[in-house]
Amino acid sequence: MEQPVMKTAAYGAEPGLRFALLLDGHGGCRSLTMAEVCALKPEDGVVWLHFEHNHPATANWVITKGNFDPLVAEALLAEDSRPRVEPVDDGLLIILRGVCAAPPEEEKTSDDNDIDLVPVHAWVDERRLVTLRDSGHYLTALRDIRQALEKGKGPKQTGELLALFSDKLVRDLEPVLDEMDEEVDELDEMIFHGDAGEVRQRLKLLRRRSVQLRRYLAPQRDALNRIEHDDAPWLKERDKLRFREVIDKLMRFIEYLDAIRDRTSILHDDLSTVISERIARNSNRLAALAALLLPPSVVAGLFGMNVGGIPGVHETWAFLAIVALVAVSSAVTLYVLKRINWL
């Protein structure tokens, strides 16, 4: 049987619009222009529109042509990026965050290890999914779903599309957490043999990243949980089951992140202990050196006074006697320091 040919979706062909896909209900899609989007009828099927959040053309379409409630339009264009979900009539206003990745054509730079959580504003109802993200960011979740639709293996309706989108946003967190865990292991090995300043700096950055991630993952879990319990007619039981799996995965990631944060706190305490021990050891060495130099200093001070009556001034053997006295007193001091385990 001949396989249907899926038309490749045009990407970024119109100002503000990254792509517009009309789902065929069988896992495939067809690319649309903005004029075709405006001419769509409800019976034509499910459409997915993805815009650049910070483009003026996007704001114009959302306000004048999107047929959104004014409060929904304002929320879609707002800078607020804390994950949340608000039901409005039969649709959902959704704000989620995903891990920003470098586009495939760009080379990795030294700043690629920094975690950038990209806010995604979305509106979903029975016939459409509208997503918005800033133009300077790149999400692999969007790319993967588009590629699946182009191959005829994508979602068939809005509930399935939203569940898959949420799943892939959460999925991209796993390599980030694995990388952070590997860095914790590396720092654990460096504490006793590496540079303390470097370890302290990397621990500080790692703790800051874990706090940043935790700040958004907890409300994202609550937002997904609210989607799962919503009674929208286009959310099927299979979609809600997938949301439960996504929430469970996200909870495990949060626990994983808490464990990483606890380990960094323990490593910071260990590092402080190691530094204190090094300081105490160096102080002991300096004190031992001062004790060894004390007898020669006393002798040199006594015989170096510019007063009369110093013995041995006119004797040729006096200098050798003083050297011998200094050597003996230093040897006795060294013996005493070793006996009291100072050295």
Tally Cβ neighbours within 10 Å of residue 276: 10
Euclidean distance between CA atoms 261 and 160, whole angstroms: 34
Report pLDDT digits (tens) over 56-102.
999 999 998 888 999 999 999 988 778 999 998 889 999 999 887 65
- How high is the pLDDT of residue 12? 57
Report pLDDT digits (tens) over 306-326.
666 677 667 777 778 878 888
Task: With CA atoms as reference, report the closest residue to 134 among 47, 84, 59, 214.
Answer: 59
Residue type, 55: H
Task: With CA atoms as reference, report the closest residue to 131 among 95, 184, 83.
Answer: 95
Euclidean distance between CA atoms 343 and 340, whole angstroms: 8
Supply the pTM of this predicted model: 0.75
In terms of C-beta density within 10 A (0-12 exposed, 13-18 middle, 19 or more buried), how is residue 142 classed?
A: buried
Mean pLDDT, the chain, as a whole number? 83
Residue 122 reports pLDDT greater than 90: yes
Residue 39 corresponds to which tokens in the numbers above?
């001419």
Report pLDDT digits (tens) over 321-340.
878 888 888 888 888 878 87
Question: Which segment of 82-91, 185-194, 248-257 scores lowest on mean pLDDT?
Answer: 185-194
Task: With CA atoms as reference, report the closest residue to 168 among 160, 158, 180, 178.
Answer: 160
Residue 2 pLDDT class (50, 70, 90 cuts): very low
Residue 166 pLDDT class (50, 70, 90 cuts): very high
Task: With CA atoms as reference, report the closest residue to 45 among 30, 26, 31, 24.
Answer: 24
3-state secondary structure of 284: helix
3-state secondary structure of 84: strand
User: Between residues 51 and 40, which one has the greater pLDDT?
Assistant: 51
Is the dihedral angle over the CA atoms 260, 172, 73, 27 positive or is it negative? Answer: negative
Report pLDDT digits (tens) over 198-243.
888 888 888 888 888 888 888 999 999 999 998 888 999 999 999 9
Residue 143 pLDDT class (50, 70, 90 cuts): confident
Euclidean distance between CA atoms 251 and 222, whole angstroms: 10
Residue 155 pLDDT class (50, 70, 90 cuts): very high
Euclidean distance between CA atoms 121 and 82, whole angstroms: 10
Residue type, 215: R
